[in-house]
């Protein structure tokens, strides 16, 4: 998603709420993982778990020196995963 990082502005304001580009990308990443895995496995809950685990593992990798760790990145990835899960169970 590096191309998307380059395209999006640093911050996005929506309904008076400012969202940093990084958090938006974490949300979208979690959403995509949850939906794709949920559809591939025909199991929405496994999609949700995959999204959450992906977010946690990303932050562990950041902590090991591959980026800047931020617990809120993992939280936002989980929220995106949950929204994807809700989409699948509707």
> Cβ contacts of residue 69 below 8 Å, gap of 6+?
59, 62, 63
pLDDT digits (tens, 9 = 90+) for 44-74: 999 999 999 999 999 999 999 999 999 999 9
Query: Looking at the domain assignment, is residue 59 inside a domain?
Result: yes
81 within a domain of the structure (yes/no): yes
Say how many CA atoms lie within 13 Å of 36 toward its Cβ: 9
Residue 51 domain-assigned? Answer: yes
Domain count, the chain: 1
Alpha-helical (H) ranges within 1-70 are: 2-7, 21-41, 44-61
Residue 13 belongs to a domain = no
Residue 36, in any domain of the structure? yes
**Alpha-carbon distances of 18 from 5, 15, 70, 83, rounded to whole Å:** 17, 8, 18, 19
Quote the pTM value: 0.90
Answer yes or no: is 6 within a domain. Answer: no
Looking at every residue in the chain, the average pLDDT score rounds to 94
Residue 35 in domain: yes
Domain that holds residue 29: 20-89
For residue 60, tell me if it sits in a domain: yes
């Amino acid at each position: 998603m590096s191309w998307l990082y380059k395209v999006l502005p640093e911050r996005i304001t929506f309904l008076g709420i400012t969202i940093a580009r990084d958090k938006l990308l974490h949300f979208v990443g979690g959403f995509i993982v949850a939906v794709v895995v949920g559809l591939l496995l025909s199991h929405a809950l496994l999609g949700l778990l995959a999204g959450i685990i992906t977010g946690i593992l990303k932050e562990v990798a950041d902590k090991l020196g591959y980026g800047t760790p931020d617990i809120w990145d993992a939280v936002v990835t989980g929220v995106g995963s949950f929204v994807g899960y809700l989409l699948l169970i509707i």
